[in-house]
Amino acid sequence: MTQMTQATQTTHVARSAQSVRMPGMPQATPLVQMGALAYQAPAGRGEAVDGLVGGGQAAAELRLSRSEFARAVQLGVVRAGPPAPGGSARFTRTELDRVRSAEGFPDALRERVETLAGAEATAAALGVGPSRFTRLARCGHITPVGYRINRYRAVVWLYLAVELRDFAADKPEMLRGSAPAADRELMAAKADLRPRKWRERHVGLLLRRTADPWERAAVLASVLPDGDVRETVPDPAERILLAALAPPVPYGHPQVPAAAAVAERLLRAEPPDEIAWYRTSLDFALTGARGQPKSTGERGPT
């Protein structure tokens, strides 16, 4: 316990950390090369406190609605600065100026974070019927960026409009003709890859936003069922630490208990091979994290 006691002291050390890359669906081995999920350092960390603004003011200055701004932060389009003492997100003037100075602001910014929901709207963006869109999404060709739970406690998936347009332009062969054999097999098995593909994206975005090895391990632990976390992390003190560093639920996660129970299931890995991949990745991340300071305070908001 001496090592744990010493390691739990909070430090503010900026370091380069190993980056865990999310796999393609067939893969089951964690990788630690820097790449698409490399850590993005918060902008303007040395800027004075009076140069920081809260999320509400930042959204207004960028001419975004609250949900649009939350999506921009989630995607890394707008990067958070040092958090307030209470943990709330703050943004530097330098970062806001960077975003405002981009070509096409604010319309281009809004286009990057625009989401569509529902089979009719999403299918229209692709120029296909709702049934074809549903098949493409269930078979993992299109990845959701978020979700909401409707009044009937059904999951409504959100998709980036720009990604739908890009998909239509890049893969016109998927918009007509018969379904590929692999898709027919998935549909016959009543498979639905949307939750898994969303988790993959969600975890990847969270990993990009922290270099802290323990926070990265906490991200991986957060998608595992409790029993798998206990088996992968037998040390109770380490489990307490991972729970304390766990990322908050995504923006838009329902507060009503009945709806929250439905959404909670989306946050946890379910297929055995997916669970096995996160367990292996968590074990690998912990190998690198043990012996390192337990917190650098570099995590951004969700």
Q: What is the pLDDT of residues 187-238, one digit of tens each?
A: 999 999 999 999 999 999 999 999 999 999 999 999 999 999 999 999 999 9
Dihedral in degrees, nearest 10, Cα atoms 157, 161, 162, 165: 100
155 DSSP β-pair partners: 149
What does the pLDDT read at residue 295?
Answer: 56
pLDDT at res. 1: 41
Q: 87: pLDDT confidence band, cut at 50, 70 and 90?
A: confident
Which of 58-67, 82-91, 128-137, 171-180 has the weakest average pLDDT? 82-91
123 pLDDT higher than 80: yes
Average pLDDT over residues 47-64: 85
Residue 115 dihedral angles phi and psi, to the nearest 5°: -120, 155
Q: What's the whole-model pTM score? A: 0.81
pLDDT tens digits, 134-144 = 999 999 999 99
pLDDT (mean) for 147-163: 97
Strand partners, 146: 158
Please list the alpha-helical segments (H only) found in the chain. Answer: 2-7, 55-61, 66-75, 93-100, 107-113, 119-126, 130-138, 161-170, 181-188, 194-208, 213-221, 226-232, 236-245, 257-266, 272-289
The per-residue pLDDT for 88 is 85
pLDDT at 220: 98
